[in-house]
Amino acid sequence: MDKKGRSRHFIYTDWILIETQFDPEQLHSKETVFTIGNGYLGTRGSFEEGYPQASPATFIHGVYDDVPVVYTELVNCPDWLPLVVIVNGDRFRLDQGEILRYDRQLDLRYGLISRSLRWRSPSGNTIDISFERFASLADPHVLALRCHLTAVDFDGLIEVQASINGYPENQGFNHWEGLDQGKTDQGIWLQRCTRNSRIELGMAAKVTILGTEASLQVNTAPGYPTLSTTFFAKAQQTVTVEKLVTVFTSREIETPVPAAQEKLAHLPDYATLLKANEQAWSEVWQQSDILIEGDSTAAFAVRYNLFQLLIAAPQHDDKVSIPAKTLSGFGYRGHIFWDTEIFMQPLFLFTQPAIARNLLSYRWHTLDGARRKAAHYGYKGAMFAWESAVTGDEVTPRWAIGSDFYGEDVRIWCRDHEIHINADIPYAIWNYWQATGDDEWMQKRGAEVILDAAIFWGSRVEFNPERQKYEIRGVIGADEYHEFVHNNAFTNRMAQWHLEKAIAVYDWLAQNFPERVRELEEKLKLTPEERSHWQDIIAKMLFFYDPLTELIEQFEGFFQLEDINLADYEPRDRSMQPILGMEKTNKSQVLKQPDVLMLLYLMRESADFPYNEKALQTSWDYYAPRTDITYGSSLGPAVEAILASDLGKSTEAYELFMRALMVDLEDNRGNTSDGIHGASAGGIWQAVIFGFGGIQLTENGPVANPHLPPGWTRLKFKLHWQGLWHDFDLHGEQVSPDITRQLEFLQLSLSPNPSLSPPLPTAQSPMPNIKGFIFDLDGVLTDTAELHYLAWKKLADEEGIPFNREANDALRGVSRRASLMLILGDRPYSEAQIQEMMERKNRYYVELMQNMTAKDLLPGAIAFLDELRQAGIKIGIGSGSKNARTVIERLGIGDKVDAIADGYSVEQPKPAPDLFLYAAKQLGIQPEESVVVEDAAAGVDAALAAGMWAVGLGPVERVGAANVVLPSLEGIKWADLKAKLSNIARQKHQGTDK
């Protein structure tokens, strides 16, 4: 069902945005909303005929020029849209005459804007006019526009003027010098050059008239070449005007004007170009589309936000990146922030990895600018600009000039103190490497960025001898309401994380590319002493948090600031900073955007310190109510939606998601006119995939653990990981990781009595109706205990900790973290060291696991599985291991398994019943219809707590609580086991009757 946006005159369908009424009050914001592009350029949704006070703009990647106060800005390029229609002497204008019918559409499938209207001129002539235009995705240098004209109730003269406007302005400032212009056999051309950066632009255009006899005239008024025609229109006769435009700049070719002329001369007709464009878009959407069923607004709006990122993404240029406002508006002057790497890049990383590589290569190309900034501030290495353009030098304006003529200018300190971007960029590079395995790019480019940026941290931190800790003082964190703070948790931990990865990258290079290591050591002056310094910083970085509650302090002294109740200031239509004033805001516990929560989100996927469930819950309870989520930063809602979803707050998660989703379509912050909120658009993709889709990245690729919002019946998408595509088609009826209600039901229905052990799965029927078996892997179908032992042994030996097979026996059925805690005993280790050791042990285990084959199945396992399948019994795997899928693949039993519940499926491990309940739900059976086969006491307890039958394999002292205890699966027949279960049920039932 279609749904109208509030007061925006919008209808949303699956793929098409429809505007039903023209509202001049929303002119500028709608120009942003109807932006089209092709990865080379973006054109705002201005009208072809123009409109008073309009802000038409076409931005081309990399075309920057100097400007007072703000250093440099993305240049508004010559306007290719102008097409004037004059009806019997009356110029068609929406602010004159009468609009009898109006409809404008943006078709996301093909990047196509169309506008259809009926207009009555001041003289009383009625005409139907329709426009259609696109920026070709098949050829980024081609732009196309078509206009249909139908006289409704008159015969008369119609004049059409198709022009190139060589006088575009950046909000009153013209960056272009006119060089030349002229005409060719095909049409007209224009040559322009930016005033300071000396980038040359060539644009050419031609016009074709269909449906009538008409000749074209050329007018080469300076800076405004025009092709015009006049024809006699008859009532109900349709005439079509096609305008094709080509554009090049000296960034990609030495002679842009001849290139534009040459391409124009060989262009096919509009219809052929449109078909090629449609084919190119079909290929992009095949990889990047997200299908949502059950929520029509979200279904369209998610695609809309993806579209706006896709049209701004450089497909063929690795020396540019996506500005914060994409290529859609004048906001932030086209500068590039951390928004690109942290918020926008994941979409491309998992659907268009070549584009993700281009975006990161931009940072490599701009390293010299980052080095110049570091040197300017007296530091070593590379210090990335908070706002960047072409060279990588800092272009954040030093001052913000307010609209108040008598007001004070405001100093912008982000350029000096918001330095977490120096770790944000390496964070994105590391994730690209993990997702793609692109070793060649990493050793040639990525490693240099990570290492040189790490050298900066080595010179930026300060050692506090009293605390015996390293500090980072005088910074601005992700929350920009507080300036000049010390030891911001986000900055300190990201710097520490960065140094950890820098050491890992160095070691990898040294092992695999020794010549490259020597080259970088010489170029960056990277010494063994520097790397030793990094290790010391990692071990001694100051971080404020309470180990008991795990509440993290945003920065040193934050808890001593004045608390603010945001509810006291509602309703409001602006952010808290102008309400409180900058000074009071800086002294209050109010946040512009998530800071601690943002840190937890970035550490979430890898479960790196300080992320864990308790820390997330504690931090959410404290910081979410203090965050100005409505009018602070648009970067916040999508991230908080993901975390709320993790915490089981489905209603709040959806509300936050919708706030981010509609930020431009509904202009709910009142600043859409500045351009698309690119970071929010990227956050939306992450909210859908990682939040509602529950995607987690494993050794075997992405795994879904969905918790779809209420009403969503289907979520379908695909992800690219390590060279392979993974398709996901998730449905609303799938189990959620939050199975609290199921557990409550089980507790009520089972009413366990301690005197009845083990409990009977069902009190209603004495005869079990078994429909499915759920097998643990280790010790049941295969024996990976030896692999685990060897991995733990290697780790323990490296750490100098005594460890033998007897100590290993205590780890059976215990989680990885709990096992490590048993091995470490009371030895002091930091959380970061614990996380690293867990990862190291798992790496050793995975390496050993690669040699597993079907020969590693335990005796009787395959025969019993085959017998169950022949009997029509469903088979599931319930293993707490995050490597379960790899084991199943190595054993060759994937075709015998109907469902897998592994370490990524639920949050609570055994002995909680969650894992087995999840498996039963996937199999489509009830708990009392399930038999769990386990070899560990924790697994048996989990099965019984879930209300399932438990079969224990092994000694009675370990699995004696199970309903049936067997030495192994060897020689076991389903008929015999079923008879045992029936006998137990009969005896229990008789005992109950007495």
Q: What is the DSSP string of 302-346?
A: HHHHHHHHHTTS-SS-SS----TTTTS-SGGGG-B-TIIIIIIHH
Q: Classify burial at 136, counting beta carbons within 10 Å of its beta carbon; exposed 0-12, middle 13-18, buried 19 or more.
A: buried
Query: 444, 364 in Cβ contact below 8 A?
Result: no
Does residue 752 have a pLDDT over 50? no
For 282, phi and psi rounded to 5 degrees?
-60, -40
Per-residue pLDDT band at 988 (split at 50, 70, 90): low
DSSP structure class, residue 688: I
How far apart, in whole angstroms, are the C-alpha atoms of residue 145 and residue 132? 6
The predicted-structure confidence for 128-156, as pLDDT tens digits, reads as follows: 999 999 999 999 999 999 999 999 999 99
| Sign of torsion over alpha carbons 871, 873, 879, 882 | positive
- How does strand 562-563 pair with strand 588-589? parallel
How far apart, in whole angstroms, are the C-alpha atoms of residue 622 and residue 981? 51
User: CA end-to-end span of the chain, whole Å?
Assistant: 59
Q: What is the CA radius of gyration of the chain?
A: 32
DSSP structure class, residue 880: -
Query: 577, 871 in Cβ contact below 8 A?
Result: no
- Encoded amino acid at 256, one letter: P
* Stretch among 203-207, 570-574, 594-598 having the lowest mean pLDDT: 570-574
Residue range 935-942: mean pLDDT, rounded: 91
pLDDT for 737 equals: 34
Does residue 124 have a pLDDT over 50? yes
How far apart, in whole angstroms, are the C-alpha atoms of residue 319 and residue 445? 13
CA distances (Å), 798 to each of 610, 764, 793, 846, 943, in order?
25, 56, 9, 18, 37
Higher-confidence position of 333 and 763: 333
Higher-confidence position of 872 and 470: 470
Hey, is 754 helix, strand or coil?
Answer: coil
pLDDT for 774 equals: 96
Query: 290, 690 in Cβ contact below 8 A?
Result: no
Q: Please name the helix (run of DSSP H) or strand (run of DSSP E) that holds residue 888, with its range, or none.
A: helix 884-891
Per-residue pLDDT band at 991 (split at 50, 70, 90): low
How far apart, in whole angstroms, are the C-alpha atoms of residue 815 and residue 821? 10
The pair of structure tokens assigned to 948 is 């399932």
How far apart, in whole angstroms, are the C-alpha atoms of residue 563 and residue 940? 49
Residue range 274-286: mean pLDDT, rounded: 97
Hey, is 785 helix, strand or coil?
Answer: helix
Length of the chain: 994
Catalytic residue among 169, 471, 480, 907: 480
Please give the model's pTM, rounded to 2 decimal places.
Answer: 0.75
Query: 143, 132 in Cβ contact below 8 A?
Result: no
Query: 326, 309 in Cβ contact below 8 A?
Result: yes
Query: 703, 689 in Cβ contact below 8 A?
Result: no
* Stretch among 138-142, 522-526, 547-551, 831-835 having the lowest mean pLDDT: 831-835
For 104, phi and psi rounded to 5 degrees?
-125, 135
Residues 6 or more apart whose CB falls under 8 angstroms from that of 448 comprise: 364, 367, 520, 523, 524
Query: 969, 859 in Cβ contact below 8 A?
Result: yes
Nearest to 497 by CA among 582, 609, 572, 649: 609
Pick from 560-564, 924-928, 968-972 the range whose average pLDDT is largest: 560-564
Does residue 408 have a pLDDT over 90? no
Q: Please name the helix (run of DSSP H) or strand (run of DSSP E) that holds residue 420, with its range, or none.
A: none
For residue 799, the Cα-to-chain-centroid distance in whole angstroms is 38
The predicted-structure confidence for 461-495, as pLDDT tens digits, reads as follows: 999 999 999 999 999 999 999 999 999 999 999 99
The pair of structure tokens assigned to 622 is 């404290």
Residue position matching structure tokens 């899928």: 885
The predicted-structure confidence for 341-398, as pLDDT tens digits, reads as follows: 999 999 999 999 999 999 999 999 999 999 999 999 999 999 999 999 999 999 999 9
Query: 877, 915 in Cβ contact below 8 A?
Result: no
Residue range 782-788: mean pLDDT, rounded: 83
How far apart, in whole angstroms, are the C-alpha atoms of residue 871 and residue 958? 30
Does residue 4 have a pLDDT over 50? no
Does residue 750 have a pLDDT over 80? no
Q: Please name the helix (run of DSSP H) or strand (run of DSSP E) that holds residue 951, with its range, or none.
A: strand 949-953
pLDDT for 813 equals: 63
- Encoded amino acid at 41, one letter: L
Does residue 758 have a pLDDT over 50? no
The pair of structure tokens assigned to 747 is 């507790």
Percent of the chain exceeding pLDDT 90 equals 77
For 67, phi and psi rounded to 5 degrees?
-150, 145
The mean pLDDT of the chain is 91
pLDDT for 983 equals: 85
For 317, phi and psi rounded to 5 degrees?
-140, 120
Residues 6 or more apart whose CB falls under 8 angstroms from that of 670 comprise: 573
Does residue 100 have a pLDDT over 50? yes
Q: 699 an active-site residue?
A: no
Residue position matching structure tokens 């100005």: 628
Does residue 756 have a pLDDT over 50? no
Q: Please name the helix (run of DSSP H) or strand (run of DSSP E) that holds residue 376, with its range, or none.
A: helix 367-376
The predicted-structure confidence for 72-93, as pLDDT tens digits, reads as follows: 999 999 999 999 999 999 999 9
The predicted-structure confidence for 37-77, as pLDDT tens digits, reads as follows: 999 999 999 999 999 999 999 999 999 999 987 889 999 99
